[in-house]
């Protein structure tokens, strides 16, 4: 397995970083936090049409750009650094589920509009039980009609298209799972934006009452499992980017803040804190990149490696957030300081797709430890 990025991948990283530096400064992040939509439609179209990020990792014969999860991870690292407010994760979830579950022709019909930025799509998976795995699906599909509720649907309040996980009446576990596609404004659908800790990533509750939907897969357990693995890899890469941004902020401030006639970064306690944090951030980046490469190469250990990366990156980002606030001192607790924006993203992403404890348990089960 290769650990070094190719020159083309480094150029891709530079292009994404330059784009996000211009389009996602902290002032713009704060503006979009208070915006009901939660993103700038013009920037999203540019991301899809100019950078080709809409369905980056989806094969070309299924409507995507044909790159790998490695490039997807690079994009998410940079988006975590910039704290991008855009429907990117929701699009990745939707396109991954469709590409995994559908035949190439049908997948291309659905994915192509999402990849071009013409449609916003959201995957409706999680329900009131709070489980992110496919076995937690309780919404019922009977005769092509959906009844039930989904919660914590990323960007579900603005999606044009919903990809809905459902199950056959009377089925349990991973048996009887299906995937359905339905327009978000179809009769019987009610959407409500949730009040969340992290306003940079909007979540919604969606209720389905006798909603007619098109079934695109009647055996979706494997596709949903693969989607969860790639989602964990993507969020792990994002958290690695968040942690790196917080580390850089802490180090920069420690060099500037003067106390007792010296920069606080010259004190041993601050030096050790920054050094320890650097080690944890680098370990998280390594775990996330290893998992992304495993997804690219079709490694059968991907479920375990995805959980390892998600747990490690969650811990690193939360530690980076806490340490960054402490190194900033009193100003780190103020609303005007930007540190709390990354702290909220770190905390919300920590529990997204499962807590670190859940993923460590999953890792042990995968490796039969």
- Which H/E stretch holds residue 259? strand 258-259
Residue 147's pLDDT is 95
Confidence of residue 270 (pLDDT cuts 50, 70, 90): confident
Residue 2's pLDDT is 63
Q: Locate all alpha helices (DSSP H) within 176-332, ordered by sequence.
A: 221-256, 268-297, 302-328
- Per residue in 163-204, pLDDT (tens digit) is 999 999 988 888 889 999 999 999 999 999 999 999 999 999
Beta-carbon neighbour count of residue 175 at 10 Å? Answer: 12
Residue 205's pLDDT is 97
Residue 255's pLDDT is 80
Question: Tokens standing for 288?
Answer: 């996330």
Q: Residues 6 or more apart from 40 whose CB is under 8 A from it?
A: 23, 28, 32, 85, 86
**How many residues are listed for the chain in this entry?**
369
Residue 359's pLDDT is 95
- Per residue in 289-342, pLDDT (tens digit) is 999 999 999 999 999 999 999 999 999 999 999 999 988 888 888 888 889 999
Residue 146 has pLDDT above 90, yes or no: yes
Contact 163, 121 (CB under 8 A): yes
Contact 162, 182 (CB under 8 A): yes
Residue 253's pLDDT is 80
Distance in angstroms (rounded) separating the CA atoms of residues 253 and 329? 10
Structural domain spans, the chain: 7-115, 121-219, 222-366
- Per residue in 68-91, pLDDT (tens digit) is 999 999 999 999 999 999 999 999
Confidence of residue 368 (pLDDT cuts 50, 70, 90): confident
Of 227, 180, 184, the C-alpha closest to 207 is 184
Please give the angle made by the CA atoms of 84, 89 and 94, to the nearest 5 degrees.
155
Q: Which residues pair with 177 in a beta bridge?
A: 167
Helix axes 221-256, 302-328, angle to 10 degrees: 20
Confidence of residue 265 (pLDDT cuts 50, 70, 90): low
- Per residue in 195-204, pLDDT (tens digit) is 999 999 999 9
- Per residue in 10-35, pLDDT (tens digit) is 999 999 999 999 999 999 999 999 99
The CA distances from residue 274 to 83, 115, 141, in Å, are: 21, 40, 52
Encode 98-117: b = buried (16+ Cβ within 10 Å), e = exposed. bbbbbeeebbbebbbbbbeb
Q: Which CATH number fits domain 222-366: 1.20.140.10, 1.10.10.10, 3.40.50.1820, 1.25.40.10?
A: 1.20.140.10
pLDDT > 70 fraction of the chain, expressed in percent and rounded: 98
How are the residues of the chain apportioned to helix, strand and coil, as percentages rounded to the nearest 5? Answer: 55, 15, 30
- Per residue in 219-260, pLDDT (tens digit) is 889 999 999 999 999 999 999 999 999 999 988 888 877 677
Query: pTM here?
Result: 0.94
The arrangement of secondary structure in 121-219, i.e. its CATH architecture, is Beta Barrel (2.40)
- Enter the DSSP assignment of 195: P
Which numeric CATH code is attached to 7-115? 1.10.540.10
Contact 227, 165 (CB under 8 A): no
Confidence of residue 284 (pLDDT cuts 50, 70, 90): very high
Give φ, ψ of 138 to 5 degrees: -125, -20
């Amino acid at each position: 397995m290769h650990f070094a990025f190719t020159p083309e991948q480094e150029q891709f990283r530079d292009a994404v970083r330059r784009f996000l530096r211009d389009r996602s400064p902290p002032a713009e992040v704060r503006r979009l936090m208070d915006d009901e939509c939660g993103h700038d439609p013009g920037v999203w179209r540019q991301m899809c049409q100019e950078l080709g990020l809409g369905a980056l990792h989806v094969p070309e014969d299924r409507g995507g750009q044909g790159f790998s999860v490695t490039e997807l991870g690079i994009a998410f690292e940079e988006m975590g650094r910039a704290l991008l407010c855009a429907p990117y994760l929701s699009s990745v979830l939707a396109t991954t589920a469709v590409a995994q579950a559908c035949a190439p022709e049908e997948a291309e019909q659905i994915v192509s509009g999402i990849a071009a930025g013409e449609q916003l799509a959201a995957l409706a998976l999680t329900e009131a039980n709070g489980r992110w795995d496919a076995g937690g699906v309780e919404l019922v599909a009977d005769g092509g009609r959906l009844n039930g509720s989904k919660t914590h649907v990323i960007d579900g309040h603005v999606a044009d298209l919903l990809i809905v996980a459902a199950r056959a009446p009377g089925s349990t576990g991973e048996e009887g799972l299906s995937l359905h596609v339905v327009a978000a404004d179809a009769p019987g659908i009610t959407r409500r934006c949730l009040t969340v800790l992290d306003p940079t990533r909007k979540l919604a509750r969606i209720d389905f009452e006798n909603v007619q939907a098109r079934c695109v897969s009647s055996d979706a357990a494997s596709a949903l499992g693969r989607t969860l693995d790639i989602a964990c890899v993507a969020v792990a890469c994002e958290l690695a980017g968040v942690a790196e941004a917080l580390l850089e902020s802490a180090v920069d401030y420690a060099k500037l803040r003067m106390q007792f006639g010296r920069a606080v970064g010259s004190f041993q306690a601050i030096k050790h804190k920054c050094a320890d944090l650097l080690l944890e951030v680098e370990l998280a980046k390594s775990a996330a990149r290893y998992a992304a490469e495993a997804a690219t190469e079709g490694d059968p250990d991907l479920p375990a490696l995805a959980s390892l990366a998600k747990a490690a990156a969650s811990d690193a980002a939360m530690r980076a957030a806490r340490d960054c606030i402490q190194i900033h001192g009193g100003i780190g607790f103020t609303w005007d300081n930007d540190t709390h924006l990354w702290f909220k993203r770190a905390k919300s992403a920590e529990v997204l797709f499962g807590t670190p404890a859940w993923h460590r348990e999953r890792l042990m089960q995968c490796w039969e430890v």
